[in-house]
Amino acid sequence: MLECNVTHGLEPSEKRAPKRDFERDTACGVEHDAPRPAPSTAERDFERDFAVYESRIGCDLRVSTQFNEAATPLAIDRFCDGIGEGNPLFRDGAHESPWGERMAPPSFIFSVFPGWILQGLPGWHAFHTSSDITFHQPIFEGQAIVPRSVFTGYKHFPNKMDAGSLCEYQQASWLDEQGQPLATAKLSGVRVLREKARQASINEERVLPHPWKPAELEILEERILRHEPQGTRPLFVEDVQVGDSLPTLVKGPLGMTDIVAYCVGASPVRLQAHELALQHYAQHPAWRFRDADGRTVEPMFGVHYNQSAATHAGMPAPFDIGTQRHCWLVQMLTDWMGDAGFLARCEARYTGFVFLSDVVFLSGSVTGVGIEGNVGTVSVRTVATNQCGQEVMRGRSTVLLPTRGHAPAVAARFHDRQA
Amino acid sequence: MTDEELIARMKVLTADCLGIVDASRLAPDVRLAEDAGATSLDLLQLVVELENEFGISIDEASYETIRTFGDAVACVKQYVAEGERHA
C-alpha cells in the first residue's frame, strides 16, 4: 500500500527488472534477440506485478502489523515474558540503575512492529534474512513509539544459479512522538519465486525433533538457570580486551509455548479468528492453507507452530521467528554489558533455521575497544549455533560502556541530550 | 584516495562483513566464497556495504564478476575512478 512518494536520504536503490528465463530464446541453447512471441497472460501479469513492485521503491510501506503503541508497564512485562527476559532493569520499576527509571529492553521495538514488512509481489515467497539496528535512545517506561517503514530497493543475487530470487531492502524507524528516532534499522529479505521455493524444500539430515537424552536436558536446564546478567555491577571498558569472550546465553530446547509466548508479547503478525479470518483469507487466499490433519483453515504464519503448515511450506518442522532470535541476541548483549551500558548497534543475519526442539547457544567476542572521554565503545562479533554446532545467526554489535570510576557516564550522555 | 588507502579500507570492511578475524590475510587471490566461506547473501551484503562506504552504485553485471578479493578491489576502483571523473 503506497502512502506517498517521498525520499528520506535513503541509499541509492537498484531498479532493474529481474532476470526472467522466459524472456530469452533458449530453444537452441543460445540467447539472442530473436523476435519474441506475444506475451502470455501470465507474463503480462508478471510484468504488471513487478512494475507495481518497482514503483514502490522509495515509498512508505503501510505498517499493518503494529502491536504495541507504547512501552506501558504491562506491554514491557508481556514482551519480557515472551523472550524469557528476567533482567530487573527491565522488570522492576523500583530497580536502581544509572538510568533512574524503568526501561524496556532495546528489542522491545520488535513488539511495536518487526521492522520487516511483507509487501505484495504475487507468486514470490519472502524470507526476512537480516536486521541491522541502530539504537539512538533508550526506551523508558511510558514511551510512545511510532513505526515507519520504507522500501529502499532490491538486488539480484550474484550467482546465475540463484535466478528467480532477489534480495529486497527496507528501512525501518521507531520514532518518538516528536518524530525523533529511537531506533532505525536496515533490513533485508530474500524473495524467491514460489515454484522455486517449493523445489528447494529444506532437507535436514539430522533427526527432528532432536533426540535429547534426559541427562542432557538436565545439564541444559541447570546451565540456563545458572546464567545471570551483569546487572548493577558496572562493566567498565577498561575491563574489556580484544579477544574476550562474552558469556553464552542458552535458549531452548525451543518449544511451542516459547513461540506462543513470543506471539503474545510481540505479536509479529496480526492473527484473526473465525469469520474475520475467513473474510481476510477471501482477500488474500495465498496467506492461508488447509491443515491436512484437522481440516481447519490456518495462516501460513503457522509454519512457526504447526507441523502441517511447516510441511506445506517444505520444512521438516516448525521453526522460530527471526526477530524472536534477534531478541535473544539483544538479551545476551545486555546481560553482558550490565545496567550501566548501552547497546548502540545490533546487526544479525539469520543464517540457518532453528526448529522446535533445537537449542541455541548465543555468544560473542570482542573485536575492538575505543575510549572517548568517560565513555568506551566496544565492537563485538556475535554468533549463534545450535546443538549440532551449526551456525544459525551471526552479526556485529556495538556497546557503549563507562570508564572506571564513571559508572553513570553512558546514561548521563543520553540524559544530557534529552535535557 | 590512493590505491593503498582504498585497499586498506576494503580489507577492514570486507573482514568485518564476512567475519574474517585477520583482515591482513585478505590477499588479492583469496576467493570470497570458497576460501572465506561467504554465501550469496554475504556477497550481496558486501556489495551494499561497499556502495555505502565509497558512495558508488555497482551494477549487476559488475558484481556478478566478483569472485576474489582482488576482483572486488578492481570493481570498486573502477567505480570510484568513474565517480571522480564525473565529479
pLDDT tens-place string over residues A176-213: 999 999 999 999 999 888 777 666 667 778 899 999 99
B36 touches chain A (CB under 8 A): no
| Count of Cβ atoms closer than 10 Å to residue A246 Cβ | 21
A9 touches chain B (CB under 8 A): no
pLDDT in tens, A232-260: 999 999 999 999 999 999 999 999 999 99
Q: What pLDDT is recorded for position A93? A: 83
Cβ of A155 within 8 Å of Cβ of B19? The answer is no
Which H or E element spans position A290? strand A288-290
Report the residue from A167, A394, A396 with minimal CB separation from B44. Answer: A167
Report the residue from B48, B60, B66 with minimal CB separation from A16. Answer: B60
Cis peptide before A268 (omega within 30 of 0): no
Q: What pLDDT is recorded for position A169? A: 96
Residue A341's contacts (CB-CB under 8 Å, 6 or more residues apart) are: A235, A334, A399, A400, A401, A402, A410
Q: What pLDDT is recorded for position A205? A: 80
Q: What are the beta bridge partners of residue B31?
A: B68
| pTM, entire model | 0.88
Q: What pLDDT is recorded for position B61? A: 87
Cβ of B45 within 8 Å of Cβ of A381? The answer is no
| Count of Cβ atoms closer than 10 Å to residue A56 Cβ | 18
Cβ of B51 within 8 Å of Cβ of A12? The answer is yes
ipTM: 0.83
Cis peptide before A253 (omega within 30 of 0): yes
The average pLDDT across A222-241 equals 97
B78 touches chain A (CB under 8 A): no
Q: What pLDDT is recorded for position A18? A: 36
DSSP symbol at A292: T
Cβ of A396 within 8 Å of Cβ of B51? The answer is no
Between CA B57 and CA B51 the distance in angstroms is: 6
Report the residue from A159, A188, A381 with minimal CB separation from B40. Answer: A159
Nearest CA in chain A to B58: A14
Which H or E element spans position A130? strand A124-135
pLDDT in tens, A373-400: 999 999 999 999 999 999 999 999 999 9
A196 touches chain B (CB under 8 A): no
Cβ of B57 within 8 Å of Cβ of A14? The answer is yes
Distance from CA of B1 to the nearest CA of A (A): 22
Cβ of B48 within 8 Å of Cβ of A130? The answer is no
Cβ of A11 within 8 Å of Cβ of B52? The answer is yes
Q: How confident is the model at residue A33 (pLDDT cuts 50, 70, 90)?
A: very low
Amino acid at A76: I
pLDDT at A153 over 80: yes
Q: What pLDDT is recorded for position A41? A: 72
B28 touches chain A (CB under 8 A): no
Q: What are phi and psi of A349, to 5 degrees?
A: -110, 125
Of the listed ranges A27-41, A61-75, A206-220, A259-273, the one predicted with least confidence:
A27-41
All three cell numbers of A275, joined, read 469469520
B34 touches chain A (CB under 8 A): no
**Residues A303/A316, Cβ–Cβ less than 8 Å:** no
Higher pLDDT, residue A262 or A6: A262
- Residue from A381, A407, A384, A385 nearest A395 by CA: A381
B52 touches chain A (CB under 8 A): yes
Report the residue from A14, A162, A396 with minimal CB separation from B40. Answer: A162
pLDDT in tens, A40-50: 777 777 788 88
Cα–Cα–Cα angle for A76, A82, A84, rounded to 5 degrees: 95
The average pLDDT across A280-290 equals 88
**Residues A223/A387, Cβ–Cβ less than 8 Å:** no
Residue A356's contacts (CB-CB under 8 Å, 6 or more residues apart) are: A208, A209, A253, A254, A255, A256, A259, A317, A318, A319
Question: Please, what sign has the CA dihedral across residues A274, A275, A280, A285?
Answer: positive
The average pLDDT across A25-47 equals 54
Residue A379: C-alpha distances to residues A71, A107, B84 (Å):
28, 19, 32
Distance from CA of A157 to the nearest CA of B (A): 6
Q: What pLDDT is recorded for position A6? A: 30
A157 CB neighbours in chain B (<8 A) are 40, 44
pLDDT in tens, A300-335: 899 999 999 898 888 899 999 999 999 999 999 999
Q: What pLDDT is recorded for position A46? A: 78
- How high does pLDDT run on average in chain A? 87
Q: What are phi and psi of A417, to 5 degrees?
A: -65, -35
The average pLDDT across A56-66 equals 94
| Count of Cβ atoms closer than 10 Å to residue A206 Cβ | 13
Cβ of B45 within 8 Å of Cβ of A396? The answer is no
CB pairs under 8 A between A and B: 47
Q: What pLDDT is recorded for position A11? A: 37
pLDDT at A15 over 70: no
Q: What pLDDT is recorded for position A201? A: 66
3-state secondary structure of A140: strand
Nearest CA in chain B to A397: B16
Report the residue from B19, B43, B57 with minimal CB separation from A158. Answer: B43
pLDDT at A95 over 80: yes
- Residue from A45, A161, A164, A141 nearest A93 by CA: A141
Distance from CA of B3 to the nearest CA of A (A): 25
pLDDT at A16 over 50: no
Q: What pLDDT is recorded for position A313? A: 82
pLDDT at A227 over 50: yes
DSSP string covering A389-409: S-EEEEEEEEEEEEPTT-TTH
B52 CB neighbours in chain A (<8 A) are 11
Q: What pLDDT is recorded for position A37? A: 62
Q: What pLDDT is recorded for position A198? A: 66
A190 touches chain B (CB under 8 A): yes
Q: What pLDDT is recorded for position A192? A: 85
pLDDT in tens, A107-152: 999 999 999 999 988 888 888 999 999 999 999 999 999 999 999 9
Distance from CA of A298 to the nearest CA of B (A): 31
Of the listed ranges A60-74, A356-370, B32-46, the one predicted with least confidence:
B32-46
Q: What pLDDT is recorded for position A154? A: 92
Q: What pLDDT is recorded for position A419? A: 62
